[in-house]
């Protein structure tokens, strides 16, 4: 797979829509990544950290109770068991190590759920690099425990009170910081979004999910699964999971977005409800009004509460390699309960959207084999769920 092309495009999506000031830093990043990616020393160090620090490989767990309940053959890729509780550490470790190889002294990042912030603060501390996290004040309110974690880890959390006070605004502020301090600063982007080379870089670091799952399903099930199902916010866990299966034409990909209050109200379903536009440096599907203003989004899952999506998913949608569905807040809570009650695994609210979708697809797919990417665990979301009075 040679995508993206040399200009950073996946079909018509992606690219680099950026102010002049950013073009040099992106060029430096792209060139450094191209050479470091081939370095044996870099890859050995990353593999060791993924194994001994983050806890890879994560198990592929055959979920017998859930399988019985839904009448499908369900395997769960356990990213929830990783250090810091979600898949985000895969990308954070890769990029922080890249930052160190590039000689950067400062890491900036944005965070929504706080999971990427915690992962970034964690790896920055591990590698001895100063860390600054931008976070919307609405998210800080919703994810107090993660804010506290970042502070314990020694990161500086910078509140963002512009716009909708959530992830996209934090993202814009982090970009501004990078432009102003580019010499010694590395911008550690948390999902497979943004201008080239980020979508590819994040996908590559998250592809460890799909590579392991492919090996594991062959080992345990002796053949390819019928479906891969994952939640899609910016799209990093899903693309890292799907990409290594791209050439397995019979394996169908389903990405599950957040329908929030429902698709006619406020949602975060960029692929299902959005239109093609340019947002945060790339061409992709985005939730915008007719004059191109970005819409306010809503999802019960802070990590899905984002109006854009990675360009590679837009490409998969356009060539029909993947299907994208949307699941509401209420349904996600049902998914949350379903996994907790059948398997004794409390999921994060983001993958709870994908779990609900399993239930929905089960009707027409009895006996089919599905791998669910369980991107994170539910500890961070207990306050939100408690307030919903299940
Ligand atoms: C951040 C997050 C997501 C959404 O991000 P993607 O880039 O779409 O993977 C999903 N699940 C969890 C647990 C998260 O923390």
Distance 20 CA to ligand 1 centre (A): 30
121 lines ligand 1 (CB under 6 A): no
What CATH class has 11-49+88-202? alpha beta
CA angle (283, 183, 180) in 5-degree steps? 60
202 lines ligand 1 (CB under 6 A): no
Burial of 181 (0-12, 13-18, 19+ CB in 10 A): middle
Q: Residue 390 CA to chain centroid, in angstroms?
A: 27
Please tell me the predicted confidence (pLDDT) of residue 172. Answer: 86
Using the 8-state DSSP alphabet, how is residue 207 labeled? T
pLDDT grade, residue 1 (50/70/90)? low
Q: Is 301 helix (H, G, I), strand (E, B) or coil?
A: coil
Is the pLDDT reported for residue 371 higher than 60? yes
Distance 230 CA to ligand 1 centre (A): 10
Please tell me the predicted confidence (pLDDT) of residue 163. Answer: 87
Which residue is closest in CA terms to ligand 1's atom 14? 303
283 forms bridges with which residues in the sheet?
14, 278
Is the pLDDT reported for residue 360 higher than 80? yes
Task: Provide CATH 3.40.50.1100 ranges for the chain.
Answer: 11-49+88-202, 56-85+207-387
Q: What percent of the chain has pLDDT over 70?
A: 99
- How far is it, in rounded angstroms, from Cα 238 to Cα 291? 30
What pTM did the predictor assign? 0.96
pLDDT grade, residue 2 (50/70/90)? low
* Buried-state track 98-129, b at ≥16 Cβ within 10 A, e below 16: bbbbeebebbbbbbbbbbbbbbbbbbbbbeeb
Residues in Cβ contact with 235 at an 8 Å cutoff, skipping those fewer than 6 apart: 191, 192, 193, 255, 309, 310, 312, 313
351 lines ligand 1 (CB under 6 A): yes
Give, for ligand 1, the residue of 116, 346, 376 to mutate: max count of ligand atoms closer than 8 Å to Cβ.
Answer: 376
Please tell me the predicted confidence (pLDDT) of residue 115. Answer: 85
Q: Is 110 a catalytic residue?
A: yes
On whether the CB atoms of residues 86 and 375 are closer than 8 A, the answer is yes
- How far is it, in rounded angstroms, from Cα 254 to Cα 175? 31
* Residue bearing tokens 């949307």: 326
- How far is it, in rounded angstroms, from Cα 370 to Cα 360? 13
Q: Are strands 73-78 and 322-328 parallel, antiparallel or unpaired?
A: unpaired
Catalytic residue, candidates 67, 212, 375, 380? 375
Distance 351 CA to ligand 1 centre (A): 8
The domain 56-85+207-387 having CATH identifier 3.40.50.1100: the answer here is yes
What's the N-to-C CA distance of the chain in angstroms? 45
Using the 8-state DSSP alphabet, how is residue 37 labeled? T
- How far is it, in rounded angstroms, from Cα 69 to Cα 77? 19
On whether the CB atoms of residues 218 and 249 are closer than 8 A, the answer is no
Per-residue pLDDT, averaged over 285-290, amounts to 95
Listed range (29-43, 139-153, 320-334) with the worst mean pLDDT: 139-153
Please tell me the predicted confidence (pLDDT) of residue 142. Answer: 79
- Among 311, 238, 326, CA closest to 276: 311
Please tell me the predicted confidence (pLDDT) of residue 390. Answer: 52
Q: Is 375 a catalytic residue?
A: yes
Is the pLDDT reported for residue 389 higher than 80? no
- Roughly what angle, to the nearest 10 degrees, separates helices 198-206 and 311-318? 80
Is the pLDDT reported for residue 296 higher than 90? no
Per-residue pLDDT, averaged over 262-277, amounts to 93
Is the pLDDT reported for residue 269 higher than 90? yes
pLDDT grade, residue 21 (50/70/90)? confident
Atom of ligand 1 nearest to the CA of 190: 7
- Among 110, 54, 60, 90, CA closest to 239: 90
276 forms bridges with which residues in the sheet?
285
Q: Is 212 a catalytic residue?
A: no
Residues 192-236: tens digit of each pLDDT: 999 999 999 999 999 999 999 999 999 999 999 999 999 999 999
60 forms bridges with which residues in the sheet?
77
CA angle (197, 202, 204) in 5-degree steps? 95
Residues 110-142: tens digit of each pLDDT: 998 888 999 999 999 999 999 999 999 988 987
Per-residue pLDDT, averaged over 134-154, amounts to 92
Please tell me the predicted confidence (pLDDT) of residue 266. Answer: 87
């Amino acid at each position: 797979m040679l995508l993206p092309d040399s200009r950073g495009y996946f079909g018509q999506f992606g690219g680099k829509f950026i102010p002049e000031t950013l073009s040099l830093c992106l060029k430096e990043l792209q060139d450094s990544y191209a050479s470091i990616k081939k370095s044996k020393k870099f890859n050995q160090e990353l593999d060791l950290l993924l194994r001994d620090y983050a806890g890879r490989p994560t198990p592929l767990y055959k979920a017998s109770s859930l399988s019985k309940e839904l009448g499908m053959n369900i395997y769960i890729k356990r990213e929830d068991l990783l250090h810091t509780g979600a898949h985000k550490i895969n990308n954070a470790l890769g990029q922080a190590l890249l930052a160190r190889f590039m000689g950067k002294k400062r890491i900036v990042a944005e965070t929504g759920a706080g999971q990427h912030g915690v992962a970034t603060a964690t790896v920055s501390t591990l590698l001895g690099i100063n860390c600054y996290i931008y976070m919307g004040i609405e998210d800080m309110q919703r994810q107090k425990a993660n804010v506290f974690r970042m502070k314990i880890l020694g990161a500086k959390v910078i509140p963002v009170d512009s716009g909708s006070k959530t992830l996209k605004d934090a993202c814009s502020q982090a970009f501004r910081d990078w432009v102003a301090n580019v010499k010694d600063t590395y911008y550690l982007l948390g999902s497979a979004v943004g201008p080239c080379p980020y979508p590819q870089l994040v996908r590559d670091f998250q592809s460890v999910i799909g590579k392991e799952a492919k090996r594991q399903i062959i080992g345990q099930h002796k053949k390819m699964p019928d479906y891969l199902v994952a939640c899609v916010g910016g799209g990093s866990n899903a693309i890292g999971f799907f990409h290594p299966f791209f050439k397995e034409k019979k394996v169908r990909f389903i990405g599950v977005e957040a329908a929030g209050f429902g698709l006619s109200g406020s949602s975060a379903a960029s692929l299902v409800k959005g239109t093609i536009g340019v947002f945060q440096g790339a061409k992709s599907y985005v939730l915008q009004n007719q004059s191109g203003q970005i819409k306010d989004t809503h999802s019960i899952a802070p990590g899905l509460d984002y109006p854009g999506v990675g360009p590679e998913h837009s490409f998969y949608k356009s060539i029909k390699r993947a299907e994208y569905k949307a699941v509401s807040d209420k349904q996600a809570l049902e998914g949350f309960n379903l996994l907790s009650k059948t398997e004794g695994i409390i999921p994060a609210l983001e993958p709870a959207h994908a779990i609900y979708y399993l239930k929905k697809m089960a009707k027409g797919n009895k006996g089919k084999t599905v791998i669910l990417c369980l991107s994170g665990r539910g500890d961070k979301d207990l306050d939100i769920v408690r307030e919903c009075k299940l």
